[in-house]
Structure 1
Amino acid sequence: MTPDARLSVAPMMDWTDRHCRYLHRLMSRHTLLYTEMVTSPALVRGGALHLLEFNPEEHPVALQLGGSDPSELAQAARLGADAGYDEINLNVGCPSDRVQSGTFGAVLMKSPDLVAECCAAMIAASPVEVTVKCRIGVDDQEPSEVLPAFIETVRAAGVTRVSIHARKAWLQGLSPKENRDIPPLDYELVHQMKAAFPELHISINGGIGSLDEAESHLARGLDGVMVGRAAYHTPTDILAEADARIFGMDVAPADPVETCHQMLPYIERHLGAGGKLNQITRHMLGLFAGKPGARAWRRTLSEGASRKGAGPELVEAALTHVTTARDAA
C-alpha cells in the first residue's frame, strides 16, 4: 500500500539512519520516514546490502537512492523493494561535491530526460511506488521555467509523486550546508506546481519548522509536507502531535519521557549486538528541546554516551534531569 505522505521526515545524510527512524516512529505511527541516501553503485557494484537493513517497526519507510545509470538504479530499486521498503525515491536534490562527481543529486536537474529514463527503468523494476525529490532548479536556471518542464518530463515517465525542496541548489560556490540556508525559499512556486499538475501528489520541503506551518501548506492544497532539520532537532515539536493534527487520528500526543522508556529495550538489543550507546543517543538529544531540564539531559548524554561501557542506565540518569524539572514545575 502506498504510504500516506501528508507528513514526512526528509532524508538527511548522517542523520536519518535506522536508529533515528526507530525513535521517530515511536512518536508518530503515520509520518512517512526516509532513509539517508543510498547510492545505487554501492548496492549494485559494491554489494553493500547491509545499507538496506531496517527494523520492521519503521514502516511506513522509504528508501532514497542516488544514481544516474538507469539499469543500475533499476537493480537498486528492485533490491529496495525486495528488502521491504514502502517507496523508492530518486534523489535529484543533493548538492554535495561527492554527489556531483557521481553525476547524481541536484546536478540531474540539468538532465530531465535522463531522470525520466532512470524513473521509467525503476518503475518497471519495482513493485512499489517510485518517487522523485528535486530542487526548484540549479545555478543560473530560471525555476519558473525549468521546474514545470522537469515535472512534466518525469510525469510522462510514470512518476505520480514529487517532493520539491523550494530552493535552488548552487553547485559551485556554496557548501551543502550553505545550500540548505542561503538560496531563498520560493514556496509560491511549489504551490503553483500543484495548481499546474493537480493529478500529481506534490509535497513541499525546505525551511518548514513547525506543525502550524505544515498545516497551512496542506490547507492551501498541497498533498504533503516534508520536514527536515526541525524534525531532527526538535522531534517532539514536529512528531508528538502529528498523528492527531496531520492524520486525523484520535490519539494523545506522544510523551517524550515515555518515548525514552520505550527506547531502552531497543538500546539494550543494540548494545548486545556490539553497538555503541552514542550511535542511538545522538538522535535523542533534541527530545526535550525548549523544556525544563533539556540542557542537563543533553549534557549528560553528550558527555557520557561515548564512554566505554555506557548503557541504558545513562539514559535513565539523564532523564531524571527532565522529570525532576517537570515535577518541580
Structure 2
Amino acid sequence: MVDEQKHERVRRAARLSVAPMMDWTDRHCRYFHRLMTRHAMLYTEMVTAPAVLHGPRDRLLAFDAAEHPVALQLGGSDPRELAQAVNLSRPFGYDEVNLNVGCPSDRVQSGCFGAVLMERPALVAECVAAMQAETDVPVTVKCRIGVDEQDPEQVLPAFIEAVAGAGVRHIIIHARKAWLKGLSPKENREIPPLDYGLVLRMKQHFPALTICINGGIASLDQARALLEQGLDGVMIGRAAYHDPASVLIGADALWGDGPGRDAFATAADMRPYIAAHLASGGRLHQITRHMLGLFHGRPGARAFRRVLSEGASREGAGLAVFDAALAEVLAQVPAE
C-alpha cells in the first residue's frame, strides 16, 4: 500500500526530474546534480531485476543520502523477479520505483522489457501490481507513446488505462514512438517525431493521474511552458547532463524557491566529495566525467574540459588535476 505522504512528495518532486540515462546518471552524477537543485527528482540508471537479484547489490543500489529525492528505475518483465527486486531495494530507501517501458535497445528487446512492453500492457499491469505489493513508495512507469506501426492515439490511452487499473498513479511519457526495427537507440532518441500534443491530451483524459513528459526538452523555459499547459511534471535528459548549470541552477524556482548554488560554488562543494572518493580508492575520472559540461558556454569552458579529459583518467590523478581545470575558468572571470 502506497504511503500517501510519500506519494505526495514524489508527485511534487516530479515537477522537474532528470531522466535515467545509462552510463550517465550514476551516484556520482546524481550527487553533483543535487548540489544545483534541492527539489528535482533524480533517477538511477536502469538496473535490471535479475541484476538486483544476482549481482553486486550494494554497488548497484547504494547511494548518498544527500541525493534524495531519488528514484530507482528497474527493467524487467517477470512480475515475480520485479517484486523480489523491489523488496531487496527497500533497505536502500529510494523515494520511488520506476518500471522502464521505454528503452528501445536490442538488449532489452531480446529480454522482453523496455519499449517492447508497449505491446503487452496486460503484462505491464501484472508487473506493477506485483511491485506495488512489496513497497509503500510509489511505483511509476516510464513509457513511449507507442512502438513501430502502433497508432499512438489508440495504443497510449489503452496502455495508461491498463497500468492505472493496476494501481499506478504516476506515468512519465517519452513523447516519441520507439522504432524497434530499423533505428538504433541513439536514433530512437532523435528521429521519431515528438508529439507533445498527445501527452497533453492524456493529461486531459486522465486528470486524476500524475502525467509527466519527456523527450526533446532542452531548457527551463521550455519546461515551464509545458507545466503551464497543465502537465504535472517535465523530465529532462541530455540537456541536464551536457549543460547542467543552465538546466538545474534556477530549477528550484519551479517550486517557488531561490536558485541553487552557482557553477563555481557547485565545483567547490564537489571538492570534499571527490577527496573522499579518492581516499576510498576511487578514481578522479569516475566523478569528473559527469562535470565536463558544468561551465558550458562560459570563457574557459573548453580548457576546463580539456584538462579533465586528458588528466583525470591518468593513474594517480588527484585533486590537483581538478583544481588545474577549475583555474582555467577562474582565469577568465573579469576582475571586479
TM over 0.5: yes
Q: Does structure 1 conserve the Cα–Cα contact (< 8 Å) formed by 2:132 and 2:139?
A: yes
Unaligned runs of 5+ in 1: none
Which of 277, 282, 293 matches 2:284? Answer: 277
* Letter matched to residue 21 of structure 1: R
Find out whether 1:248 has 2:260 as its counterpart.
Answer: no
Partner of 1:24: 33
- Kindly report structure 1 stretches of 4+ aligned residues shifted beyond 6 Å: none
1:6, distance to aligned residue in structure 2 (A) = 0.2
Partner of 2:140: 131
Find the aligned partners of 1:292 and 1:48 in 2 and give their Cα distance.
Answer: 42
Please list the CA deviations of residues 142-197 of structure 1 after superposition, one character each: whole Å capped at 9, or x if unmatched. Answer: 00100000000000000000000000001111111010000000000000000000
1:47, distance to aligned residue in structure 2 (A) = 5.5
- Scaled by the length of structure 2, the TM-score of the pair is 0.95
Find out whether 1:179 has 2:188 as its counterpart.
Answer: yes
Q: Does structure 1 conserve the Cα–Cα contact (< 8 Å) formed by 2:42 and 2:71?
A: yes
Partner of 2:332: 325
Q: Does structure 2 conserve the Cα–Cα contact (< 8 Å) formed by 1:106 and 1:134?
A: yes
Please list the CA deviations of residues 282-320 of structure 1 after superposition, one character each: whole Å capped at 9, or x if unmatched. Answer: 000000101111001101110110111111121111111
Q: Does structure 2 conserve the Cα–Cα contact (< 8 Å) formed by 1:43 and 1:49?
A: no
Within-5 A mapping of 1:220-299 = 220-244=229-253, 246-249=254-257, 251-299=258-306
Q: Does structure 2 conserve the Cα–Cα contact (< 8 Å) formed by 1:64 and 1:90?
A: yes
Which of 94, 99, 106 matches 2:103? Answer: 94
* Letter matched to residue 282 of structure 1: R
Find out whether 1:119 has 2:123 as its counterpart.
Answer: no
The verdict on how the C-alpha distance between 1:253 and 1:25 changes in structure 2, with shifts beyond 3 A counting, is closer
Partner of 1:48: 57
Partner of 2:3: none
- SS of 1:125's equivalent in the other structure is coil
Aligned length: 327
- SS of 2:47's equivalent in the other structure is strand
- Scaled by the length of structure 1, the TM-score of the pair is 0.97
1:50, distance to aligned residue in structure 2 (A) = 2.3
Q: Does structure 1 conserve the Cα–Cα contact (< 8 Å) formed by 2:35 and 2:260?
A: no
Partner of 2:165: 156
- SS of 1:134's equivalent in the other structure is strand
Find the aligned partners of 2:69 and 2:58 in 1 and give their Cα distance.
Answer: 20
Please list the CA deviations of residues 243-290 of structure 1 after superposition, one character each: whole Å capped at 9, or x if unmatched. Answer: 12x1111x2442111111111111111111111100100000000101
Partner of 2:175: 166
* Letter matched to residue 272 of structure 2: P
* Letter matched to residue 298 of structure 1: R
Please list the CA deviations of residues 52-86 of structure 1 after superposition, one character each: whole Å capped at 9, or x if unmatched. Answer: 11111000000000000001101111222221000
Find the aligned partners of 1:296 and 1:64 in 2 and give their Cα distance.
Answer: 35
Find the aligned partners of 2:280 and 2:56 in 1 and give their Cα distance.
Answer: 22
Q: Does structure 1 conserve the Cα–Cα contact (< 8 Å) formed by 2:170 and 2:210?
A: yes
Find out whether 1:81 has 2:90 as its counterpart.
Answer: yes
- SS of 1:326's equivalent in the other structure is coil
1:46, distance to aligned residue in structure 2 (A) = 3.6
1:101, distance to aligned residue in structure 2 (A) = 1.2
Find the aligned partners of 1:310 and 1:58 in 2 and give their Cα distance.
Answer: 26
Find out whether 1:311 has 2:326 as its counterpart.
Answer: no
Find the aligned partners of 1:160 and 1:50 in 2 and give their Cα distance.
Answer: 30
Find the aligned partners of 2:179 and 2:77 in 1 and give their Cα distance.
Answer: 19
Unaligned runs of 5+ in 2: 1-5
The verdict on how the C-alpha distance between 1:125 and 1:323 changes in structure 2, with shifts beyond 3 A counting, is same
Q: Does structure 1 conserve the Cα–Cα contact (< 8 Å) formed by 2:14 and 2:233?
A: yes
Q: Does structure 2 conserve the Cα–Cα contact (< 8 Å) formed by 1:81 and 1:127?
A: no
Find the aligned partners of 2:181 and 2:317 in 1 and give their Cα distance.
Answer: 43
Q: Does structure 1 conserve the Cα–Cα contact (< 8 Å) formed by 2:251 and 2:259?
A: no
* Letter matched to residue 80 of structure 2: S
* Letter matched to residue 330 of structure 2: T
Please list the CA deviations of residues 8-34 of structure 1 after superposition, one character each: whole Å capped at 9, or x if unmatched. Answer: 000000000000000000000101000
Q: Does structure 1 conserve the Cα–Cα contact (< 8 Å) formed by 2:37 and 2:249?
A: yes
